Amino acid sequence: MCAKIILKDGLTLEGEVFGAAKSSAGEMVFNTSMVGYPEALTDPSYHGQILVFTYPMLGNYGVPEKGTDEFGLPLGLESEKIQVAGVVVQEYWDGAGHPLMKRRLNEWLKEEGLVGVSGIDTRFLTRHLRSHGTMLGKIIVDEEPDFYDPNATDVLSFVSSKEIRNFGSGRPKILLVDCGVKLSIVRSLLKRGASVLLAPYDSDIVSLSSDCDGILLSNGPGDPSKPERLLKNIRSLLKSEKPIFGICLGCQILALAAGFLTYKLPFGHRSSNQPVVDTETGRGYVTSQNHGFAAKEETLPDGWRITYRNANDGTVEGVAHFKLPYFGVQFHPEASPGPTDTAFLFDEFLELVKRR
């Protein structure tokens, strides 16, 4: 079955459908990772986005089997379901390419009702997005949908938990504010002996924090300036001097609450090989990233500093308060997919928590 891709600027491409035969719309973005598509497809930060994979083949190792890990979280996935609005690849491969393969990608997409398009020159499409910037797009299979902009409103309600959940017991106890959390963040805390109180982003996190030893603001989709109630609550929490750690969108929200401004990047950072540099030591790290907004360095508020910069474009990748236990990073120390070079940040956060 044929599918048509149309970008907001009029660029039109044609390919073949795999997965669910249905139309879709969202923001067209690209990811340059070579592996890790099950994790990427279930990353809530991709909500409302059509994901273009630059690696030329997808599907060759299937998807994880159904089941849960030792923490009761889905095996090998970053949320309970696929989060992207569509998938675009050069070649879809449906063979059995891994001895542990339990399910095929095509079957999984059909079960979840997600459309995929193969036979696309993804190198050309990626170069177009790099030259003209990320833009809205749609995949047409049957009826033509309207363009959809996930950054126009507060989309966190679509990806955040609907109820409070507890993982583990004992201390330290971390309030994990769910803006669309990747489950590997939960795993990273639990593996280090912390317990986790996972709370919806729009809950009364100020009151919930009173029984917790630290606060972690999760990743998530959309424009960080949209969740106004959350920003108000974080500004209140900044007066408590309780340790706060922000990851990805959580870093942007922390920055906004502290007094930074944020802005939309031309085409974002989405890959497992983004280089960042520690501004204090000069040491470089290879990181996993998935974001389209960043803190504006020239709006640096008093008392704050830049801790990491992107080695490719110089954008802000980390912020921290000089004296108080507040810090955030744009990249993903939990990886999944990607390198675990910066997993030590979870240890640093928990050490801050234990010292308070």
Supply the residues annotated as catalytic.
248, 332, 334
| Cross-sheet strand order for the sheet of 165-167 | 165-167, 195-200, 173-178, 214-217, 244-247, 326-329, 316-321, 304-310, 262-278, 284-295
Structure tokens at 247: 């990851």
Calculate the CA dihedral of residues 159, 192, 343, 100 and round it to 10 degrees.
-70
Within 8 A by CB and 6+ apart from 99, the residues are none
SS3 label, residue 298:
helix
Whole-angstrom Cα Rg for the chain: 20
Rounded-to-integer distance, Cα 100 and Cα 325, Å: 43
Dist CA 229 CA 218 (whole Å): 16
d(CA 116, CA 88): 6
